[in-house]
Structure formats: structure tokens, C-alpha cells
Structure 1
């Protein structure tokens, strides 16, 4: 009986992770309909708000199964990306480096900038988690690390793809890989944080 319960919990966790990966990546791809990937001066607060709203809404579709009042996740994610876009960082989820094709340098700057973006994003999203999730402060560290690794992967792979193909679309593909890495890391870490709430145990009215 205990073994069956552990197996069910494992399957539930894997299912959540796959859903989280899917909605996050799909959210990024959908955002490209309204946001054109570009350089830092061109991707600012408006693009950040649009992107944050789309990504936050996509992730809410999965979070609402486990997190009470998950609608606040949309507001937090939208606000966070708007503030990040307004800052000197720019909305880095849709930004690629200008005239920098060194994989080493891109990895370095991607890691440093990603750490800042992830910390800001995680800190604001924490407000949507803290009332219902124990040890929710860990989310700030998780977000910072995920974005440091993800943006480093995205920018470096974007340089490789662009140099190999000779077209800017390679940069977009690199960012897509970066978002995939971020979704994978954050999804894994969300499973234990949200373990208090089994899937579909919440009333749908809780949003």
C-alpha cells in the first residue's frame, strides 16, 4: 500500500513537471506572436508586461490544480517582467546580446544577468506563494539559479546556432532552449514545494 502511494506520488510529480515544461515553453512560443526577439534597448517594459502576462497565464493553467488562489501568480509574473523590462536589464527573456558571438562571454554574461533577473522574478512571485507554501522563500534561490543557467544556455546556444546557420532565427532557437532549461529546473523544484496540495484536490473556484 505504501509502495503504491509512493508510485502514485512519483507519477503525479512527473506529470506536473511535464505539464509545467509544456505550458512554459508554449507560453514563450506564443509570446513571439506579439514580441519580436531583439536587443536590449528595444525590449523594454511593454514587452515585459506582455510576455509576463502570457507566461504567467500559461503557468497558471498548471498551478491552479495545486495552489490556492493561483491567479496571483499571473499578477506577480506580469508585474515582475514589467519591472525587469523597465530596469537597465531589459526584458531579458526576449533579448539576445548585440555583436557578441563568443560562447564563453555569452555564457558568462548570461549567467550574471540571469541571476539578477531570476532573483527579481522569484522575489515577486514569492508573494503569490508565501501564504500557502511552506519554505516558499526557497523559490527565490531556485528562480535565480534557473535563470542563471537557462540564460547562459540560451545565449551561448543562440550564438552557436546563428554562426552555424547564418540567420537570426538561430538566436530565437537558443532562447527557446534557455526557456526549456529554466522550465525543467523550476518545475523539478516546484514539486516538493507544492507537495502539500495533491492535484485537482482544490475547488475550481479558488482560481
Structure 2
């Protein structure tokens, strides 16, 4: 007579409820990331206009404020979702704001140097320059995501097992996100500020945020899986 297993199996309704909660979390995360990136892009546009009006000598101050504000927007947006699953993470907004500001400032200098050096290289064809810029943007995204992921890991590690994977997920997500942003920005056919650039800018911000949110959202669900099951 076959021996009956005494191992407790998850109830089907419990599994379906957990899956439903996972999808809900992922959808919220992707949506909030898209909105945060749209707002962040808007801050960047405003900062660019301010810099043009007050003079380039004040650009450093403006760029510091842009990085800080974008970090605060991103940190608050993510915290609004995370606080339902992870308690006592008030430091999340602070570390995110600081990390984004650091990544923004250094990344801005590196990207300017990269564009300058590649653009002035007479040995490169247009296709080679585009490919080189794409590679540069990808690794710039790895840097941005790595810095951000590491900063947020310092908060997550006290609450979540294997939180170091959050660093990897962010590095990959921001690398792909910035590549998408670079390709979409290249679709514009004018340098003037008009309806076309506004719509394309909004689409770029939303798409970039959605890409980053989709990848980090999967990682977040995997890291929070035990908590999602306990909430059933």
C-alpha cells in the first residue's frame, strides 16, 4: 500500500492569492517607477531652462539640486509601495536621494566626456559612433543602478534575506533603461522645444521608468516572496 506523504502542501487558494498579490505589487511598482521617472524628467527640463536663464556659471548648483530632487521623488515613490511590505525603512528616501545625486553628478560628467571623445573621433563612422555610445550608455546605466542598488541594499539587508541581489537587479535594470532612453531620444528630429519634444520626452520618461520598474519589480517580488506568503 503506498505511503501517504505527511508533508504539508500549500493550499491552492493560498497559492493563487499569493500570485495575485505578486502581480498587484509588480503592477504598482512598474506604475510608480514610470511616474517617478516622468516627474524626474520634468525636473530636468525645468533645470535646463533655469540654467539657460541664469547662466552656465550656476550650472553646478542647479545640477546638484536636480540630482537631489530626482532622488527624493524616486525614493518617496518607492517607499510608498515598500512600506506595506517592509517596516521601518524610513531611511530609504534619504539613501536613495543621496545615491541618485552622486550617480547623477558623476554620470553627467562621464557622459559628457564620452559624447565629446566619441563625437570628435575622425576614425569612427556614424554607425560605429552610435554603437560606441550605446555601449557607453549601457555601462553608465550599470554604474547608476549599482550605486543606487548598493545604497538601498544598506537598508534592505536588515529586513530581507539575500538582499544583495537588489544591487544586481538595479544595475541591469538601469543599464537597459538608459539604453531605451538613449534610443528614444535619438528619434527626435529637432532641437527646439515644441509639442513633439514634450510628447517624446514624456514617452521616454514613462518608458524608461516602466523598463526599470519591470526588472526591479521581478526582483522585488522574489525577495519579498516569504512575506507575500505570510500575508495570505
Q: TM-score, normalised by structure 1?
A: 0.80
List gaps (5 residues or longer) in structure 2.
1-9, 49-55, 120-125
List gaps (5 residues or longer) in structure 1.
202-207
1:64 aligns with 2:58: no
- Residues 38 and 202, structure 2, Cα contact 8 Å, conserved in 1: no
Q: CA deviation at 1:22?
A: 1.2
In the alignment, which residue of structure 2 is the partner of 1:204?
Answer: none
* Aligned CA distance change for structure 1 residues 129 and 62 (closer, same or farther; 3 Å): same
| Superposed CA RMSD | 3.1
- Residues 52 and 77, structure 1, Cα contact 8 Å, conserved in 2: yes
Point out 4+ residue stretches in structure 1 off by more than 6 angstroms.
97-102
Q: CA deviation at 1:173?
A: 2.8
Count of residue pairs the alignment pairs up: 193
1:19 aligns with 2:31: no
1:163 aligns with 2:189: yes
Aligned mates of 2:75, 2:157 — CA distance in 1: 17
In the alignment, which residue of structure 1 is the partner of 2:5?
Answer: none
Between Structure 1 and Structure 2, the one with more helix by share is: 2
- Residues 107 and 153, structure 1, Cα contact 8 Å, conserved in 2: no
- Residues 178 and 208, structure 2, Cα contact 8 Å, conserved in 1: yes
Q: How does 1:60-139 map to 2 (within 5 A)?
A: 60-87=79-106, 89-90=107-108, 104-139=131-166
In the alignment, which residue of structure 2 is the partner of 1:198?
Answer: 228
* Aligned CA distance change for structure 1 residues 189 and 24 (closer, same or farther; 3 Å): same
1:189 aligns with 2:198: no
- Aligned to 1:69, what secondary structure does the other structure show? coil
Rg comparison, structure with higher value: 2
Aligned mates of 1:80, 1:200 — CA distance in 2: 32
- Residues 180 and 208, structure 2, Cα contact 8 Å, conserved in 1: yes
